[in-house]
Amino acid sequence: MSDPKKDPELDQAARPLLPVLIGPLGAIWASVVIVEHFTWSRYLASNESLPINQLLICAVVVLLFIPMKKYRAYILASVLFFVFSAGVAYQYWHRIDQVMGLLAEADPYGFTCRVVSDPQYGSYSPSSIVEARLSSGVKFRCRIFWPDSTGIPAYGSQLDVHGHFIPLSENNEFLYRQGLAGSFSVTSIDDCHFPNNLVGLISEFRDTNYRLLTEQGEQSAYLLSGVLLGNSGEFNLSWAGEAFKITGLSHLVAVSGSHLVVIATMMAWVLAKLKIKTRVEVFLLLLLVAAYVMLTALQASAVRSAGMMGIVQVARLIGRRSHAPSALSVTASIMLIIQPTTAFSLGFWLSVFSVFGLAVYLPLVREWTELLHSRSSSKYKVTYHPKLVKHARRLISNYIVEPCNISLTAQASTLALSAPAFACISLVSLPANIIVAPLITLILLMGIPGLIIGSFLSSVQHLLVSPLILLGRLSCYLAQQFAGLPFASIPFNGRLDMSLVIALSVAAAVYLLWPHPTAANRRVFWRMLCAVCLVASVIYVKPQAAELVLLDIGQGDAILIREGSISVLIDTGPESTSLRRALARNHVKSLDAVILTHLDNDHCGGLRALTGFIQPDTVYFAAGLISNRSDSNAIQQAYELVGQSRIEELIGGDTLVLSSHLSLSVLLPTHLVYFGDNHDSLVISLNFDSEADGTVDLRMLLTGDAEADDLQKINSLYAGLSFQVLKLAHHGSKGSINNELLRQWECRIVLISVGLNNHYGHPSDQALQTLDDTGALVYRTDELGDISLRLLSQCLVISYSGMRLVWAY
């Protein structure tokens, strides 16, 4: 084989020029982030000031002492962009600060508002973003929590709400970054309607189509809603939505430029194969994007994505000097200046990274795949039906390789953003995108004109929707099959900033070594990779002492128990992504068992997260649930996860021996259960035998949601037991514990798993006062994050948030 350096085939892919505005774009982003940080700090402490003078002095120093004169003009331009965008951002957040001051004085109990987002479904009540106006004329944006008992108003609707206002707290910077002045908990709604204007008519049109698509209530219909209308809230709650995350397909559903650019690139490739002229191709693409924006009811994310795609496509018509990366840089810079909150939008940066990656690196990926194809063709000479084989290779190159190139480039370009967001790296992303992305493209190409035509011809609406439902079902089925493969994804516990540094460094290296690294570079790369793997094995592959970790997963329970290679998870919390992040943080690679204490969503809702991620050997439920509640989501998910033969039941008196030091004793319930509610919770004692001599040295009581009335049974059934550590029931509700039980059990350490700023008021003041009266040490996940209790001979090592305490027992 010839040296790649001398292979003339590699010279076909010319290295594209980087946009001149890439530096100013970075400066604009940095200025917005810095300004937001200092204005938020000032809001909290009232003693921070924006260091504009200091920043200007630093910029001037850098400008004066730069050694290469030819870069001074470029740096000056970046500094000017930095200062200008900092001023714009400061004015933006300063106005929000003023509005928050007015709201604190007014303490509004009601206002008129317009819904400007689809509902988000979290651990608490569903929520939306609204643009509100007080009777005094003050306008602001805030988050609305809807009451569960009423219907959730659709995007674009206008209404009057009543309830109570919740100012931003120190943990609400994520809301401040979105330009929100607070939250509002709704108690009643009046006069909900679509306004009689263009936006109102388009919003009503979208809502009608949403009801048409989702009237059957199946997950494929919610997929169509996400793809065609940009409303993916319900889809994200389904198993298919979880499968799309595991397989790296979420970008095909989200309203972002990442979505549009992949679809548009695939469509452009199809149109090129049909030999359609560039002008017609661009016109059709712009028409598709415009129709999509209308179907999404002019959502800000859709408008931003359409604007980005529009400028890139129009740049293709300008002539030989058009440069897509430059058009992208201009568009992104304008968007950041017009709307500073865009700097914190994941969808926006997915758009930028995917468009930039496809514009710059797709030619190189094409070149590499063509090189591999040509070399494999020359290495393996075919003598049997050579014409047929040559024709087959040409078909593969034309109709399979190019979709692979597009999917691979888009995935690699956005991996640094998607991996921290979903706490996993998909190992089946490439084949999943190759197979499912064309189906999503077909749904868009058929669905957008189909919904528009159906709005004028209601008699054919269901006829036009039926093939879309079939395509949606097929897409969901394929995603679920990929997600169910062993090791479909691997845990990722990386910070976003470090991921970006690594990704940008790799991208810069690939660009500088274009079109390929030399043989010497490759040898250095492989040696460095081996060294990194060796260091990682030394750091992460080490003996694990007996440990209990109360995982911070929000308003729910998830407890990890492990020693050596043994790992058991008790409950999964309410939501998949939070559980994946928690398991990745704690370097969990396998699970011997999952024990679900009862069927409340905040204890078993995250079970889906383990599919294709970490395969447990066995899933345990309380005795009686499998037959009495076989239709529950948790049991159905367990069947799909491990199969029927590896689902077992536990009842009071059962013991699971984990190692010579650890065992789990089931205390309650002592009877078959029928409902799986709080009263039916499994109550388990974790027993630690430090000497492995058969004598229990320390017990921890893990209560699920069984409150004091149920826990009283333990004293009569198991006389003389004491528990040095207690996991407080039901997140510290009013009835979770009483003084009598704490004294009888001699509890010294109490753990509370609870969500930050939860709407239930957990832990209750009554429970905290009871704990304070007995002098117990209290550790809470909402304040400390993950809480680790390492069990050693004669002592516990309690670790959290960088702190380490030793407690002798």
Give the pLDDT of residue 751. Answer: 96
pLDDT digits (tens, 9 = 90+) for 350-366: 878 887 888 888 888 88
Mean pLDDT in residue range 466-485:
92
Give the three-state DSSP class for 7. Answer: coil
What confidence tier does 537 reach under pLDDT thresholds 50, 70, 90? low
Share of the chain above pLDDT 70, in %: 83
Mean pLDDT in residue range 374-379:
61
What confidence tier does 5 reach under pLDDT thresholds 50, 70, 90? very low
pLDDT digits (tens, 9 = 90+) for 696-742: 999 999 999 999 999 999 988 988 889 999 999 999 999 899 888 98
Give the pLDDT of residue 518. Answer: 65
Is the model more confident about 801 or about 337?
337
Give the pLDDT of residue 511. Answer: 84
What confidence tier does 9 reach under pLDDT thresholds 50, 70, 90? very low
Per the prediction, the chain carries an average pLDDT of 83
Helix residue ranges per DSSP H, 70-216: 72-106, 173-176, 198-214
Mean pLDDT in residue range 1-13:
46
Distances (CA, A) of 193 to 134, 151, 156, 200, 337: 18, 13, 9, 9, 33
Mean pLDDT in residue range 597-617:
90
pLDDT digits (tens, 9 = 90+) for 749-766: 999 999 887 878 899 999
Is the model more confident about 371 or about 627?
627
Q: Is the pLDDT of residue 515 over 90?
A: no
- Partners of 591 in the beta sheet? 616
The angle, 0 to 180 degrees and rounded to 10, between the axes of the packed helices 324-338 and 346-379 is: 160
In DSSP notation, 724-785 reads SEEE-GGGT-TTS--HHHHHHHT--EEEE---TT-TT-PSPHHHHHHHHHHT-EEEEHHHHS
Give the three-state DSSP class for 662. Answer: strand
pLDDT digits (tens, 9 = 90+) for 157-204: 999 999 999 899 888 899 999 999 999 999 889 989 999 988 899 999
Give the pLDDT of residue 176. Answer: 94
Tell me the whole-structure pTM to 2 decimals: 0.79
What confidence tier does 11 reach under pLDDT thresholds 50, 70, 90? very low
Give the pLDDT of residue 322. Answer: 57
Encoding tokens for residue 620? 């345990």
Give the pLDDT of residue 36. Answer: 92
Q: Is the pLDDT of residue 621 over 80?
A: yes
| Peptide bond just before 431 cis, omega within 30 deg | no
Q: Is the pLDDT of residue 694 over 90?
A: no
What's the rounded Cα separation, in Å, for the pair 405 and 403?
Answer: 5
Neighbouring CB atoms inside 10 A of 645's CB total: 7
In DSSP notation, 123-159 reads SSS-EEEEEEE-TTS-EEEEEEEPPTTSPPPPTT-EE
Q: Is the pLDDT of residue 564 over 50?
A: yes
Give the pLDDT of residue 259. Answer: 59
Mean pLDDT in residue range 20-25:
83
What's the rounded Cα separation, in Å, for the pair 410 and 467?
Answer: 28
Is the model more confident about 541 or about 554?
554
Burial of 208 (0-12, 13-18, 19+ CB in 10 A): middle
Give the pLDDT of residue 228. Answer: 87
Mean pLDDT in residue range 48-62:
55
Give the pLDDT of residue 64. Answer: 55
* Cα-to-chain-centroid distance, residue 501: 20
Q: What is the gyration radius of the CA atoms in the chain, in angstroms?
A: 29
In the 8-state DSSP scheme, what is residue 217?
-
Neighbouring CB atoms inside 10 A of 463's CB total: 11
pLDDT digits (tens, 9 = 90+) for 236-258: 888 888 899 888 888 788 665 55
Highest mean pLDDT among 226-240, 264-278, 559-573: 559-573
Q: Is the pLDDT of residue 3 over 60?
A: no
What's the rounded Cα separation, in Å, for the pair 249 and 246?
Answer: 8
Highest mean pLDDT among 267-276, 472-481, 513-522: 472-481
The CA dihedral of 765, 768, 772, 774, to the nearest 10 degrees, is 120
Q: Is the pLDDT of residue 122 over 80?
A: no
Nearest residue to 160 via CA among 202, 203, 192, 119: 192
Nearest residue to 22 via CA among 74, 71, 72: 74
pLDDT digits (tens, 9 = 90+) for 627-652: 888 888 899 989 988 988 999 999 99
Give the pLDDT of residue 47. Answer: 47
List phi, psi (to 5°) of 705.
-115, 15
Encoding tokens for residue 704? 């699920």
Q: Is the pLDDT of residue 442 over 60?
A: yes
Q: Is the pLDDT of residue 114 over 90?
A: yes
Beta-carbon contacts of residue 231 (< 8 Å; ≥ 6 apart): 118, 155, 210, 225
Give the pLDDT of residue 331. Answer: 81
Helix residue ranges per DSSP H, 402-515: 402-422, 429-456, 461-483, 496-512
Give the pLDDT of residue 4. Answer: 42
What confidence tier does 692 reach under pLDDT thresholds 50, 70, 90? confident
Beta-carbon contacts of residue 360 (< 8 Å; ≥ 6 apart): 16, 18, 325, 511
Give the pLDDT of residue 701. Answer: 96
Q: Looking up tokens 């919610």, which residue turns up?
A: 222
